[in-house]
Structures are given as C-alpha cells and as structure tokens.
Structure 1
Amino acid sequence: MAFNNLSRRAFIKAMLASLALSACGAPKSGQEGALEKLSTSLAGGPTPTPTLAPTPTSLPSADGVAQAYLQAWQRGDFAATYRLLSPSSRRQLGSRQFAAAYQNAARQSTAINIQAQLQSLLAEGPQATATFHSQWQTALFDALEADHVMRLRFEEGRWGIDWQPTLILPQLGHGVTLTLLEDRPERGEILDVQRQILASNEPVITVGVVPALIPASDRPELIEQLAPIVGVNASEIEEKITTSPPNWFVPLGDIDFDTSVAYLDLLAAMPGVERRPHPLRVYPQAETGAHLVGTLGGIPAAQAEAYYAQGYNGDELVGLTGVEGWGEAFLAGKRGGKLLTISPKGETLAELASAQPVPGGNISLSIDTELQQRAELILGARRGAIVVMEPTGFVKAMASYPRFNPNDFAAGIDAETWSQLLDNEDRPLVNRAAQGAYPPASLFKIVSMAAAMEKLGWSPEREFYCSGTWDGLGENFPKKCWLETGHGRINLKDGLTQSCDVVFYEVGLALHREDPLLLPEMARAFGFGRPTGIQGIDETGGVVPDNEWKMEALGEAFFDGDAVNMAIGQGYLLATPLQVSQMMAVVSNAGLLYRPQIVQQLSSRNSGDQFFRPEQVNQVPVSPESWDIIQDALFGVAHGRRGTAREAFAGIEYVVIGKTGTAETIIDAPHAWFAGYSPADPPEIVIVVMLENAGEGSKEAAPLFRLMLESYFDWLGKGG
C-alpha cells in the first residue's frame, strides 16, 4: 500500500510538472479544473460511464423531391413524376390517369415547352409546403404563366407530393377541365398562272345536337329521323349523345348545301338540332394536274408531335403531297382560339388565353390548266410522263399517267378507294415525271460527248469505225450497236446525231481509264444524281453511279464495263423526266443550269405577295464552241438526212433541237424517250416525253413530242 501511495503521489507530481511546462506560463481557462478532476479521479477510483440524454431525429429535406418533380415535368417524364407522389396520392390516382391529365393540358394549350422553378419550401414536421412558378410556351397563345402551391408529406419513410390538379394550372380544380375552343381559318387556294382555281373550299353543313335541349320523350324519334339524313347509324348517334357533355354541340355528320335546303324545315323543327357550316376542300379540275396539286390526309403518326408543336389539334386533314404538302404551313394559316376552363357541368369558368386566327395564303403556280389538259390528252392512257418547261426553269405542264382524283382525299379517303389505289400495279399515286427514275439511254450521250470534248480534248471530227459489234472490253465481252449493220466510218459529232453506240462505248472507256470520276462529275454538273430542288413537287434524285456508289450499294468495284454502259445511258444510271428536262434546258442555255420551279407566287393577306424568279444554280464547264457543236448535232437528229428522228419530224414548221432514247429493260419492252427544245435561237420551250415499256424512242416518243410542240405553239396563238 505504501508503495502504491508513493507511486500515485510521484505520478501526480510528474503530471503537474509536465502540464506546467507545456503551458509555458499560467494555466489557460479550464486547465485548473481539468487538473482538479484528474487529481480527484486518480485519488477516488474509476470515473462512471456517462449516460446520453434522448434527442429527436430530424427528417430528410423535402427540397430534393420537389425539385426532382418539377424537372421531370419539364422533361415530360410522367413515369418519374408519378413515382414522386405520396403513397396516398398514388392509391387515389392511377399512373395513366395522372399522365393523361398533364398530356391533355399540354395538348389543349398547344404547349411547346414548359419551365417550372421552385421558389420556396417550408417544412413543419411531416408536412411541407412549396411554391413554384411555371411558364408555358405555346404554339397558339402568348406565354402562359402561373404561380402554384405544392403540398408534400412524409409518409412510409419518404417525402412525396400530395397531388392536386392545381399543380398543372391553378385554375384546374377537381373535375375542372382545360379546353381549347378552336377558330380555324379557311385554307388558302391553289391557282394556276391564269388565276384558274386548282384547289379551293366550299361550304358543307355539319348537323349536330345539343343534348340538353332535346326533351327526353322526343329523343328516340329525333334520332330515327336524323340517321338517314346524316348517313349515320341510329345506335351511333345515341352513343355520341349519351357520352357527350349535355350543353355541348355534338357533331353527327356532314351534308351538302342542297341536302340542307331539302331538309330545311324538318331540321329547323327538331329541338336541339343545329346546322353549322364549315369549308370542304374541293378540286374543280379533278384529275388534271393531280400529282402537282397534291392531296390532303390525316396527320401521320410519326409526325404527330411536330404538328402538335405547331398548334394542330390532331384531327385535321393536312397537305401530304404535291403543293398541298409543300405549302401546308402557308395554306393552312395559323389557328386561333380560346383556352377555357370548363366545370363538370360543362359551363365555362374562365378564359385563360385567346388568339386571333391568321388566314391561309394563296399559292399561284406556273402551270397553265389548258396546256396541262393538252399534255394529258396527248399522253393519253400510256404509262409515262410529259414535261413542258421554259428554259429558265418554270414548268408550264407536267403530265403523268395514270392519275387519280384528289377530291377522293378531301374529306378523308374511304378504305375501299385507298386500297384500290395502293393495289393498282400501275401506281397511279406516283408522279412519273419527278418520281419515276429510268435509264436515260441515248439522251445521256449529250453528257458523254461534252465530257469527251472538254476532259479528253477530243475533236468533233475524231473518227471511229462501227461494224455493229464492239469488242473493246475483249473478245469474250462483245457489245452491240443498236444498228446491227453498223454505221461504218463515223465521227464524234455524227455519232451523237445518229446515236451510234460504238462511238460512245469508246468515249466511256477512254474517260474511265483517264479518270473514273470524269463522266460521273460531268453528269452531276448537268443536274443528274440529286433532286432538282423544285418546290412543291415530290421527287427522287436518281442515280449517278461511280466506284463509291457501287461499293456501298453492291459491294464491288466500278469496272470498265460499267463505265461503257453509263456512257450510253444504261447500266446503273437512273434519271427522272424532270432531270432530263433540266439537262435539255442546259443545252438550250449553252451551259446555264436553272432550278426547275412550279411555284410562281405566294399571296398573303398579312405580308403581301412574294414572287419567284428564275434561279441559276450552276454553270456547266463546257466551252461555247463545244455547245455549238452539240446543238448542231442535235439539230441533225430531227432535221438531218441520217437523224434518228427525221421521219417523226418530216415537214414540221418549227426547228427542233433534240435527242431520241430507247432505254433497255431486263423484263419488258424498252422505255421510249424524246427530249428537245424549240426554236433554236432563242429557245422558248423544253419538252420531254417518256413512255414506259413502249418501244423505240424515235417511233413512240418522238411523234408525241411533235404533237406537244405543235399544241404548245397553237396554245400560244402561233400555230399555222
């Protein structure tokens, strides 16, 4: 014990000395108390373990949940927003009903973008209240802005939103709906160059009822009387009335003006029945120019969101093809309307926004209806196309057969008519002038000759020998000329006039071996291999093959044989009659390439008129001397002693600069071509005729070209 007491005293002294030295002076506040406690502890035994007093556990913050909800709403992620609802709200509201409430509000308001910003949040125990501000950018109205209150609760171990419709808009209480009362402007007209109507509107009468105004005792008889008038089954009328708000107008069906007059007294005597006029699209020229004017149809599902963003409601008929499709936004104008809140009883509670409609504008085309009718009459019932175009690009007529009647689409095409059009193997919906791609055959020799003179430096007098057979690719790969007996000795210029294949086999092979891109690049300079860029017409770009194209399309290289075929307009080369028209216009203009056009004027009540002018898009790299040679060679086609079309143009009073073409096909008769312009100087009109599987160009297409040319000058008042 004495040892222990001594040791304790010695330890205390040592500790006191150590603390004094480390302090370097007087002890700091609290040190004396610490020493006393240490001394007491050492003297009195072990210190008891302290006991912690109970304190409340704080809840996690609700800010993150509120912020996440608003961000998910902005993204349109309704699955994420629904997961953030409180368990109580989720038990009362299904996920589909929840998403539909937001989607309907966005649809009715024509919302394009919604931004929401959290402003404050106050939590008191398991309850929290947040405020936020929303801004709705819409297609029809000025920006909508609102201040909201959001309530949250801590339930089942997490924060969740107690959902109310006011989180969408403050004006939306339970049972209150958001409704867009549309004011749709009348669609603009499509006119020809003489202001003749190609597409317009005429009124039809929508017959409907206001259910609340129909006495219950009269309802069965009234429905039976209405059914045959509107052409709707009585049971369908009953269902529409039963499922609609009682104070709303319920449309039942459309009738024309004459039918409305015939049943005027009967309809006027029916309680609750109303007649409301609205416009129906009409095409007074019927099939004439149908591919150009285009069609209406329902909004395609794949484009629905884009249309909604422009203020469409989803049930409209919109332009889908031709000028109707190209000019949809201009023709349709801009919808107006009122954004209303409606009570469960169908009463208007408030007007949240309004906008005046902007009327649709008119589109005038360069097409002349009479000339278009002449072109279609000359084409007749032959599968093919005729293009009549000014050298600077404005199209005067564009005929394609077979055709269709756009009036069939005006009120929504019926299933039977649509099926007949789709199943027709002659494809009447295809505009062969701009959507049909064919081998241009010997017409392309114009391009090949230009490339030979400009890129190889060949003289037009360069001589060749044609025996009717050519073995330039080797004896195992002989190729024939269209003239089996051969042309004998013939130069490059006469080779174009007489369309000698052997001459152009040599051209194609020489160009390819000099540089495989020489001929493809010249073809593209003439406008082949890409869409022409014509506005208002649906078109395809055709094909200009080269090594890159063939490797991508077929997985093999572009060989000498491919180049030889291309030089005579065969092989993989494809072009539309419109592209061939552009090529002939280049020849007539000595190298100036103009973009084809059909839209000539836009007329808006608000912004006035916009006129379209000729648009040069390229200068083909061919010298003036070479153009003179090419034009002279093409003069010989129609007027020369050995021209391929001399018989078709015998005795014609107009000068024709043109070229025949006979495009070989694998499984059927060849396509017949003739393309040219007249007169020679200055050129006034370019015409292209293409007949599918009709035979030789000189015998089938050239005579139709002559008829079209003579009809054109007769139309101008220049006929003999």
Structure 2
Amino acid sequence: MRRLDHAQGSLHTSRRLSQWRLVQSALGLLLAACASLQPAATLPPPPPTATLATPDPQGTAEAFLEAWERGDYAGMYSLLSPLSRDAVSLADFQARYQELADVAGLTGVTAQSLNALKSGSRAMVLFEVSLRSAFFGDITRKIEMPLVYTDGLWTVSWTDGLILPEMAGGGRPVAQGSWPARANIYDRNGLGLAVQGEAVAVGVQPGLIQDEGAVLNALSNLLGQRPEAIRARYAEARPDWYVPIGEAATADVQANLSTLSSLSGVILRTYSTRFYPLGGVAPQVIGYMRAIPPETLADYQARGYTGDERVGSAGLEAWGEAYLAGARGGTLSVMFSDGRVSRLAERQRQPAQAVTATLDRPLQLAAQQALHGFRGAIVILDPATGAVLAMASSPSFDPNLFDPTNPHSAQLAEVLADPADPLLNRATQGVYPPGSIFKIPVMGAALLSGLYTRETVLNCGNTWDTLGPEAIKYNWTFGTNIRPPGRINLVQALQTSCNPYFYTIAYDLDQVNPDFLPQVARQFGFGAPTRIGQVAEAAGLIPDPAWKLATYNDAWRPGDSVNMGIGQGYVLVTPLQVAQMMAAVRNGGVLYRPQLVLKIAPPGGEPTYTLKPVVNGRLPVTPEQLQAIRDGLRAVTSEAGGTARHRFLNLGVAVAGKTGSAQNSAGLPHSWFAGYTEADRPDKPDIVIVVLIENGGEGSEVAAPIFRRLVELYFFGRAQTLLPWETDFGVTGSPAPTPAATP
C-alpha cells in the first residue's frame, strides 16, 4: 500500500481548486449545454449531524463513509484534517459531492472499509464505494483514504480523488446523452395513429376568404372534417381573427400545396410535434403527450429521465412509454481544464419500438362519425380473439392541443373545462344501467337454474303484479298501441323483450337463492374489470344481498332481484363489458380478454410482442342453452315481434342482437344496441358491435340504426341506409332523442 504525504496532498488540493476557478467560466457553457441531459439530484443533503473523529483510523474512515451514505456532507467535512479544511471550504466540499450526485443522477451510495494500515501519525484505509445511478447503473471503485493523527484524533487528509479516483486533480463530472426518436403508433394496417415529425396548424382569417366553397372543400378533404363543421368554427368570428381549424400532416399539405396556397384566407403554420392525424383517431385510446407531472418526477428520474421530457400521459402513449421512448444512451465522464477526458460509465442507447394497435382506422373513424352530436360510446370487437377493432367515445377531443408548440394549443383550456368531460373514455370508464341488454345473462341464469327450459311458456301482458297491488310492474308495451305478445316461451321472451317474463324469472330465482342471479351475471363478465390493461376501466356493479347490507345497511328484497331481471336497479355495466359478453355468445362461450395491442417491434426488426388471445373465463351455460340465447338474439332482428326487426330489413348481412332502453335519473333512457354479425365470410371476419347513446331514448330508434350503419360500412365499404336524423349521407340535422317505447 502506497503512502501519501498529507501536507503535499492539501497543497495539491488548493492548487487544483485555484486552477478550477480560472476555467470555471469556460466550463460553465459546456455544463449548461449538458444540463438537460443530466438527471436531477435525488440525494438532497440532510441536516448535518455531529460526526466526530476517533482515536482509531478505521473508525474515522467508517464514520466518513457512513456520513457519505447518508448524504451528510457537513458531517464528512467535520472529519477532515485542519490542513484539508484550510484548503477547501465547506461550501466547495459540499458542491463537489453534490455535483456528482446531480450529474450522475445518484439514487444512493454504499461504502465500506476493507482494511487499514497505520504507521506512526499516518494511516491508510482502503475502502470500496458503489455509486448507484438511475441512468448509468452502479459505479464501483476501490479507493485509498489517507488519514493523519492530529491532537489525539485521526482525521481525513482529503483530496477530490476520494470522491472518485478519476476526479483527482480537479476533474469535473459531465454527462452527455442521446435519445432515440419516439416510435410511432399504427393501426392494424400500418396507418398512422401517432406519428413523430412535423405537422401543419391550419386556420383561416374569415375576412380574407373569397371563395368559401373552395376553402371548405379543400379543408374538408385535408382535415377529414365536414364542411358545415368547418364553417361553424368561424361563423361568429370577426373578419380579422385567426380561427384554428385543425392540424394536418406535412406530407398531406405538400401534396395539396398548390390548391391550398391559391386560397385566400387559409393560413398554414408548420411545427415539430407528436402528430395525431385527423384531429385524433381514438384519442381516449391512443392518449397524448404531456410534461412529466411533479408528483411522478421521482419515478421518471429513477428510470433515467431528466425531468424536462414530454411523456405519454394517457392511453397507449402512457402504457407503451417504455417501448415508444426506447432507452436513452449516454456517457458519464470526468473533464479537466486541459481538455483531458476520463470516462466513468456508459449506457448504450436502445431503439424505440413501434406499437401496432388492433384498431382499424377507417372503422374507428366511422364509429367516431356515427357518434357525432351524441354523448356515448361504441365498441367493436373481433369475437374470435378479443381484439378491439374500434373504441369510440363522444364527446371527443384533439390530442394535438396538448403540445404547447402547436399554435392552436390555447384551445386546450376549453377541452379541460368542458363539463361533458371529453377525456373520459365512456367505452371503458362510463358505467350505465344496461336495461334489457341484461336479459341475456338473466336468460342464462333461468336455464342454469333448472326452473326453466327454452320451451317454458308464460303469459306476457302489459302488467305484472306478483309483488302486490302497490308494486305493479309494467311491460314496455304499456301505454303504447303495441299489443303484448301473450303466451310465449323463453326464446320468444328474449325476442320480444318481455318485461313480465323476466320479472318472473328474477322473482323465482330470488325465492330459491337471491345470490344465484348475481353469481351468474358475474360469470357473464359483469361486475369486474375486463383487464384490458392498456386503458383505464371501471368495474361496474352487480349488487347482491351482502353488498346492499354493507352499502345501505338494508336487507335485500325480492323487488331488488326483480329490478335486476330487466337490467335496472343498482346494476351498472360498461360498454366494453357488454361487448365482451356478446363476443362470448358469438364465439361459443369464451370470454376473451379485450386487447388493444396487435404487436410491438423495433425498426426493421422482428416483433418483440404479438397478440395472443387470453381467456378471462367461459359462459356457464351448456352449448344447448347458449344456442337458445343465440336463437332469441337472432329473432330480435329477423322475426316478427323482434324489437329491432324493422331496423335490419334488407341489410344483406345476417345479424343478431339485443335492444336496451335503460331508465336513469338524468332524463331519457340510455339507448343500447349490442349484437354481432353472422356473415361467415372468409374475407371479412364477423364482428361484435355495442352502441350506447346516453339519454338517447329507444334502443331500436337510435342505437340500432347506428349499429346497422357500421355493419354496412364494414361489409360494403359505404353507407346504404340513411340514419333517421340524416338529411343525406353524412349530413345531419340535430339528432333528436326519442322517448322509450321499446326496451
């Protein structure tokens, strides 16, 4: 073990500090340039504690190292020899250690003495230190610590080489980093959903518009917006105002530049961004980018972020952050005033990986367009895998507004203040009474109980009085000019959505076991998250006697079961849960977990992830019982008395489904239609579609026509039937909700 001269070391320290002050200004610019690459300090110094030198050199060394582990730089300084303290001030001493912690992004220090050698009034302690960096990993060194015996105590003869050997002689730590470009998000066919690059903010100045028809036509084609919607944006604006219309891809603008540049009143502004085409395709699913929130800063720093990045803040952007951002690379070095550089650590950059979603962009846009003017949600699934082909929620928002460099970003305040909460994904986070959609699991429970078969006949009239004259229940036909069907079997009860039949089922099940119906409903996928994973979701609610007692301190009554029998009372579901159930009915009984990611792959490389179907459970019914349910759903759309038959005449594709008109406390019933296609075409897999319109009224009058429109677009590539509120294809008046007459 070599011996060090304490006095000489102190003089060297003094000279080195003086040299550093001469070049401090020059290095300042370099350090400032690197500042954005350096993780913020995660080791703020604690209040100083009394740390005393000891009569034993190894004891003093261990006290010094323990103080370092605590980040107690003042305590460390108190163990320095008098000559060392004369050579470096407490402030400079603390700054040297804190600088390394800041630059390297240290999250902890571990140090231990290994052995000691003493000779007279001098000693040498060999120690090992590991500096834990969130970004660079562990930096471990063995270092010799010189100590000197002064006034009966051993003290540390300090030089900056005791921080790291490479820093001896005045070297300063510098971090340099490099980041891969953020990867894109694509739809299942390779169409962009979130793309890194340049975009163009498109706006108009109304007073300069000369050929309004040409402007509206050009911007409609460029932005995918209806001409009347574009005109409405500037209709009330002053002639000299700049009115934001939307954002477009640079390539699309370039392709139409000759036309756009010839139109007076159109203003184009290019900016670099994370671009979301067409004003946001499935924005509640794809998400958006935002600055790192203060409350999660420490978590991101622990993953190697500096804190000034923009990161995925919702949806696939947040879920796939580790894939989309890649792994940044960088070097940690020690730089000297004479230009020498000593490398301490290095981390290789890893390329970002593109995420391919299960979504079909044209189908997704069709779903979003179908919800125009409504509040609601649409979910479209592949029943054979659980892949989500479309997930739309309305009202929606433009995720491009979250970029502060977007000239239109001031509009974000309106989005965030909107009481309709456009950021809410109503498909997964909205919970609603299901109404008559819930008759599907109720029919399953009836068959499972052994109390009913598909041929069990009951009378279906306008009223049901089993609970007594003060608790009369009504069929949906009551008060209309529609006659109730009379004596019908269970399949026909589902076909005609007979409330009295399902009241009776629920009552009978309650008399045997009030927990039976809730248990079966959960086996149909309700009352628990679907575990889709990539987006937030609600669990919904399937009530039972224990829940009611715990929630309301009240006993369960037959009326609670009766209300549940038609999807009312306390029952709450999400549109995604309904879609998962319908997919299981279509595929033979398997509850596949809904999934949003088709594959993940690096540029030009093989996928590191590909979708594999995941089974959440199985419907509890037998194949014969499931067929009875399917027969009832097919009759809804194709047989006389089916509640939606009139909506599917001459469609050209076999469909099955169920209407629902769910009573709620906020006005008109929610309008539901949930179903699937039965085309069995090799070129077009069958799909499940669930449509929910908040306070839309009758399921057959609002949700069912939207269901048909989506089937037409999917199988035929164009709309064939006007929606009840359309004056022409794609041209609407104000959608008029209708009072509920059918469930």
- TM-score bucket of the superposed structures, by smaller chain: 0.7 to 0.9
* Alpha-carbon shift at residue 449 of structure 1 (Å): 0.7
More moved, 581-590 vs 141-150 = 141-150
* Alpha-carbon shift at residue 625 of structure 1 (Å): 0.9
Q: Secondary structure at the match of 1:642?
A: coil
CA displacement 1:76-118 (0-9 Å, x = unmatched): x43x665565188799547xx9888656534532445543222
CA displacement 1:643-668 (0-9 Å, x = unmatched): 11122223322222100011111132
Q: Secondary structure at the match of 2:647?
A: coil
The percentage of aligned residue pairs carrying the same residue is 39
Q: 1:406 aligns with which of 399, 402, 415?
A: 399
Residue 438 of structure 2 is aligned to residue 439 of structure 1: no
Partner of 1:374: 366
Partner of 1:478: 472
Partner of 1:713: 715
Residue 612 of structure 2 is aligned to residue 620 of structure 1: no
Cα separation, 2, equivalents of 1:523 and 1:103? 59
Contact kept, 8 Å, 1:86 with 1:161, in 2: the verdict is no
Q: 1:588 aligns with which of 586, 589, 606?
A: 586
* Alpha-carbon shift at residue 500 of structure 1 (Å): 2.0
Q: 1:566 aligns with which of 553, 564, 567?
A: 564
Q: Write out aligned runs for 1:532-547 (5 A).
A: 532-547=530-545
Q: 1:706 to 1:170 in 2, by over 3 A?
A: same
Q: 2:529 aligns with which of 510, 513, 531?
A: 531
Q: Write out aligned runs for 1:28-177 (5 A).
A: 61=56, 63=58, 66-67=61-62, 70-71=65-66, 73-74=68-69, 77-78=70-71, 82-83=74-75, 85-86=77-78, 93=90, 105-111=100-106, 114-121=109-116, 130-141=125-136, 143-149=138-144, 168-172=163-167, 177=172
Q: 1:378 to 1:125 in 2, by over 3 A?
A: same
Partner of 2:577: 579
CA displacement 1:185-223 (0-9 Å, x = unmatched): 11111111221122222269xxxxxxxxxxxxxxxxxxx
Q: Secondary structure at the match of 2:278?
A: coil
Q: Secondary structure at the match of 1:334?
A: coil
Q: 1:165 to 1:668 in 2, by over 3 A?
A: farther
Cα separation, 2, equivalents of 1:482 and 1:593? 31
Cα separation, 1, equivalents of 2:358 and 2:557? 43
Q: Secondary structure at the match of 1:146?
A: strand
Q: Secondary structure at the match of 1:436?
A: coil
Partner of 2:634: 635
Contact kept, 8 Å, 1:84 with 1:161, in 2: the verdict is no
Partner of 2:350: 358
Cα separation, 2, equivalents of 1:444 and 1:558? 20
Cα separation, 2, equivalents of 1:279 and 1:337? 24
Q: 1:114 to 1:87 in 2, by over 3 A?
A: closer
The one-letter amino acid of 2:317's match is: E
The one-letter amino acid of 1:134's match is: V
Q: 1:571 to 1:64 in 2, by over 3 A?
A: farther
CA displacement 1:660-692 (0-9 Å, x = unmatched): 011111132221100000116687111111111
Q: Secondary structure at the match of 2:645?
A: coil
Q: Secondary structure at the match of 2:176?
A: strand
Cα separation, 2, equivalents of 1:175 and 1:472? 92
Q: Secondary structure at the match of 1:302?
A: helix
Q: 1:285 aligns with which of 278, 289, 308?
A: 278
Residue 686 of structure 2 is aligned to residue 692 of structure 1: no
Q: 1:591 to 1:160 in 2, by over 3 A?
A: farther
Q: 1:621 to 1:257 in 2, by over 3 A?
A: closer
Partner of 1:178: 173
* Alpha-carbon shift at residue 598 of structure 1 (Å): 2.0
CA displacement 1:260-290 (0-9 Å, x = unmatched): xxxxxxxxxxxxxxxxx99732223322222
Cα separation, 1, equivalents of 2:550 and 2:168? 60
Contact kept, 8 Å, 2:709 with 2:719, in 1: the verdict is no
Partner of 1:493: 491
Partner of 2:675: 676
* Alpha-carbon shift at residue 293 of structure 1 (Å): 1.7
The one-letter amino acid of 1:401's match is: S
Cα separation, 2, equivalents of 1:551 and 1:154? 76
Q: 1:117 to 1:623 in 2, by over 3 A?
A: same
Q: Write out aligned runs for 1:211-230 (5 A).
A: none
More moved, 501-510 vs 666-675 = 501-510
Contact kept, 8 Å, 1:588 with 1:677, in 2: the verdict is yes
Q: 1:543 to 1:153 in 2, by over 3 A?
A: farther
Q: What is the aligned length? A: 587
Cα separation, 1, equivalents of 2:500 and 2:65? 74
Cα separation, 1, equivalents of 2:56 and 2:290? 53
Q: Write out aligned runs for 1:185-584 (5 A).
A: 185-202=180-197, 280-342=273-335, 349-392=341-384, 393-411=386-404, 416-484=410-478, 488-584=486-582
Contact kept, 8 Å, 2:135 with 2:302, in 1: the verdict is no
Cα separation, 2, equivalents of 1:350 and 1:491? 85
Contact kept, 8 Å, 2:64 with 2:75, in 1: the verdict is no
* Alpha-carbon shift at residue 168 of structure 1 (Å): 4.3
* Alpha-carbon shift at residue 641 of structure 1 (Å): 1.3
Contact kept, 8 Å, 2:637 with 2:645, in 1: the verdict is yes
* Alpha-carbon shift at residue 443 of structure 1 (Å): 0.6
* Alpha-carbon shift at residue 330 of structure 1 (Å): 0.8
Contact kept, 8 Å, 1:84 with 1:160, in 2: the verdict is no
How large is the RMSD of aligned CA atoms in angstroms?
A: 3.7
Contact kept, 8 Å, 1:673 with 1:697, in 2: the verdict is yes
Rg larger for: 1
* Alpha-carbon shift at residue 155 of structure 1 (Å): 10
Q: 1:156 to 1:481 in 2, by over 3 A?
A: farther
Cα separation, 1, equivalents of 2:687 and 2:250? 44
Q: 2:598 aligns with which of 597, 600, 612?
A: 600
Cα separation, 1, equivalents of 2:487 and 2:531? 42
CA displacement 1:205-248 (0-9 Å, x = unmatched): xxxxxxxxxxxxxxxxxxxxxxxxxxxxxxxxxxxxxxxxxxxx
Partner of 1:22: none
* Alpha-carbon shift at residue 509 of structure 1 (Å): 2.8
* Alpha-carbon shift at residue 371 of structure 1 (Å): 1.7
Contact kept, 8 Å, 2:524 with 2:620, in 1: the verdict is no
Q: Secondary structure at the match of 1:608?
A: coil
CA displacement 1:605-636 (0-9 Å, x = unmatched): 49621321333332212111111111111112
Q: Secondary structure at the match of 1:578?
A: helix
Q: 1:551 to 1:155 in 2, by over 3 A?
A: farther
* Alpha-carbon shift at residue 476 of structure 1 (Å): 3.9
The one-letter amino acid of 2:285's match is: L
TM-score (normalizing by structure 1) = 0.73
Contact kept, 8 Å, 1:340 with 1:350, in 2: the verdict is yes
* Alpha-carbon shift at residue 583 of structure 1 (Å): 0.8
The one-letter amino acid of 2:369's match is: L
Cα separation, 1, equivalents of 2:532 and 2:359? 13
Structure 2 segments unaligned to the other structure (5+ residues): 1-52, 200-248, 252-269, 722-743
Q: 1:339 to 1:470 in 2, by over 3 A?
A: same
More moved, 487-496 vs 683-692 = 487-496
Q: 1:303 to 1:71 in 2, by over 3 A?
A: farther
Contact kept, 8 Å, 2:54 with 2:154, in 1: the verdict is no
The one-letter amino acid of 2:516's match is: L
The one-letter amino acid of 2:355's match is: I
Q: 1:165 to 1:483 in 2, by over 3 A?
A: farther
